[in-house]
Chain A
Amino acid sequence: MSEACAVIGIGQAKMARRRNLSIAELCREAALRALEDAGLEFSDIDAIVLGKTPDIFDGLMMPELYLADALGAVGKPVMRISTAGSVGGHTVIQAAHLVQAGLHRRVLCLAYAKESEGDINWAVQGGGIPFASPFVAGPGGYFALHIREYVRRAGAPDHIGDLVALKDKQNAAINPYSQLSEGDITLEQIQQSPMLWDPVRYAHTCPSSDGACAMILSASDAVDSTSTRPAWVRATAVRTEPATAPWRDHTNPLAGRECARVIYEQAGIRDPLREIDCAELYIPFSWMEPMWLETLGFAAANGGGWRMIDDGGTRPDGALPVNMSGGLMAGNPTSSTGMLRMAEAAMQVRGQAGAHQVDGARTALGHAKGGASSYVACMLFDATRPD
């Protein structure tokens, strides 16, 4: 029943504070690049899927209504996905579903954030809500709790968060869309950066960005008519768990473990570390890389993740290059952040990643997560068409 589906166009907007652009202009920057990449025009697109979470971040409600004109959507079906931080991943997967269901031949999906237009710290606090915390810990407060629990369980040494930050900052420096360019930062500078939420230092955190990402998904019969190399969608999955469930494991979340299990099962992957060439993960704080390596089955639970990092296993020349684009260290335009992970994974198998291309990448994992790590989306892309 399910039709084969491939990514045939990818476009990104430069991540930065883009005050001189409207939301529509920012989105078009990414959309037009994706169309150019695919050799298509807006008129070739059958349907649009927009991803954005949450609207309150920039104060624009249901932006699909205002963006219909800028995205060439008039007269077409427009969906608007809104799951937590993972929304960029959910959005590409929804676009894939439209193709896989045989409903549309070419679907444009896009996610954006214009964080410079709102006050995010205000928006996430949710003041006045019953049982809200009476004090403000800041955006890292929640995650630092569970990072510390990981450190305890796994016996991780202090420098692991520093190593990941160093790798991702070096990777980001060769990503032309990156907001930050700190390629010559040293491990010592990272270790001397201010402690914000023990054990999370300033240099372990990602910036707040404006940005947009667009991808064009195509049915197999429409792939052949384009000249670009496709990234075939080999597996997709989303999983969600209740954030406040009793005794929930926040450190190694079930939604993440299940999402990984499902895509590996779909793709027939038994040993993800050997069978996947590179992975682009949603890591807002460098300390979360070892946690997610374990959750996604690349390393043994309770310590395999940090040991893999300590051995250089996630560096560009390691066994599993992780966050070749620099990941969130390159920029964190919420909503597009998740789609950028999928885009980077697809770019790798298309051989399109430029300076951060992993040699010979054939199979790549994209991962997005959100909420209290309770929303997870994963996609597996392949250079060859799945059977």
Chain B
Amino acid sequence: MRDVAIVGFAQHPNVAHFPGNEIEMLLPVVSQAIASSGLQRGEIDVTTAASNDFFAGQAFAFVRALDAVGAYPVIDDSHVDMDGAWALYEAWVRIQTGEVDTALVYALGRTSAGRLHEITPLQYDPYSMQMLGIAPTDLAALQARVLLEAAVVDERAMGEIVARSWRDGVANPRVWHEVAPTLEEYLASPKLRDPLRALDCAPQTDGAAAIVLASAERAADTCETPVWIRGIDHRIDTHYPGARELGECPSAREAGQRASQGATPDFAELSACYSHEEVLLRRELGLGADTVINPSGGALTANPIMATGLVRFVEAAARISRGEGTRGLVHASSGPCLQQNLVAVIEGGAR
């Protein structure tokens, strides 16, 4: 394996609604990520991107986004309709082939043009699930119920996760919230989809993120504090919540084992969009008390779908760059009840 480093990164502030268009959102993020890498735009060998047309409400919306990345006159480019973490994986693979040394990865998570409860269910089996009228929160509530019944988590623990996440989110200048709910306020709040309260669910968010990757050879030239990708893997589980043991998440477990190789991270950035998911992920990823969870506030306070996972990479790389952490575990997820999971371990220090 070639050593690959994150040499530049940026994210758009996570907001409830960004009033400009997609290009206006992406352009400064991409420019800033490239600038922070020390590379010139022309030195980027490959571009990989992530977004989803359903959130823009238009087929081929991702084609227009290319204007923002300086695709002129011509670039080597790919795009996934997955979370940006998978675009990062694709770029990492490209560097592994030895064909290229540098890559720009970006993800657009601008979802506020539509309504999540109308759009996200379109990813379910069109023959047996969509017509049931179920939304992601309904399925998440099933999983939460399973975990509560099995006493893996209780209401108070979920509330503590919510309170901690919001406290950290409010302290994060990249997250727009100003007031964090307390545990007492959580417990007093009504249930939205029993057993889930509104506060157990991530808010609809607009955001975007970009990362520049470089092979070790190039990273040494361009960056004083590269953040190394030590391991990365992703796996998928069955699509059907009814066919799964909802109290487990084997795809996250396997991806975690393959990515971390037993190393204990001092912090983790998890794409847990519901409070109970954090509990399940900690268990499957083997994260104990010596790992700080979601110091950025996590996906529970800022969830720009399609960019959520790449934002976790940005937050983790930024934390390591600031010297507040050494080894971070990064997690991204897709599909109902954490169906698909990507895990990476990133580290500061020497190659």
Contacts and interface: CB of A to CB of B under 8 A. Distances in A.
B81 A55 contact: yes
Contacts of B97: 1-2, 97, 100-101
B71 interface: yes
A123 interface: yes
B74 A56 contact: no
Category for how many chain A residues contact B: 35 or more
A103 B96 contact: yes
Contact of A73 (B53, B64, B74, B236): B236
Interface in B219-268: 233-240, 243, 250-251, 254
A129 interface: yes
A236 B202 CA distance: 41
A80 B82 contact: yes
A117 B120 CA distance: 19
Interface stretch (A57-65, A143-151, A201-209, A290-298): A57-65
Contacts, number: 182
Interface string B48-69: 0000111001111011101100
Interface residues of chain A: helix, strand, loop or mixed (majority):
loop
A371 B62 CA distance: 10
A102 B81 contact: no
A84 B62 CA distance: 9
B42 interface: no
Contacts of B76: 237-240
A243 B63 CA distance: 8
Contact of B60 (A54, A59, A244): A54
Contact of A254 (B1, B67, B73): B73
Given A79-B80, A79-B82, A66 B123 contact: yes
B86 A79 contact: yes
B192 interface: no
A126 interface: yes
B340 interface: yes
B236 to A, nearest CB: 5
Contacts of B58: 56, 126, 129
Interface in A237-252: 237-245
A56 B61 CA distance: 11
A94 B78 contact: yes
B323 to A, nearest CB: 32
Contacts of A238: 76-78
B90 interface: yes
Contacts of A69: 238-240, 243
A124 interface: yes
B127 A78 contact: no
Nearest to B99: A2
Contacts of A62: 52, 81-82, 123, 334-335
Contacts of A245: 72-73
A64 B1 CA distance: 27
B238 A54 contact: no
B123 A76 contact: no
A77 B235 contact: yes
A80 B98 contact: no
Contact of B239 (A65, A90, A94): A65
20 contacts: A1-B2, A1-B96, A55-B53, A56-B53, A56-B54, A62-B81, A65-B236, A65-B339, A65-B340, A66-B123, A69-B238, A75-B235, A77-B234, A77-B235, A94-B90, A101-B94, A124-B60, A240-B74, A241-B72, A375-B77
Interface of A: 1-2, 22-23, 52-57, 59-62, 64-69, 73-84, 90, 94, 97-98, 100-103, 117, 123-124, 126, 128-130, 237-245, 254-255, 258, 371-372, 374-375
- For the complex of A and B, the 5 pairs showing the least CB-CB separation, nearest first, are A1-B98, A101-B96, A82-B81, A240-B77, A61-B122
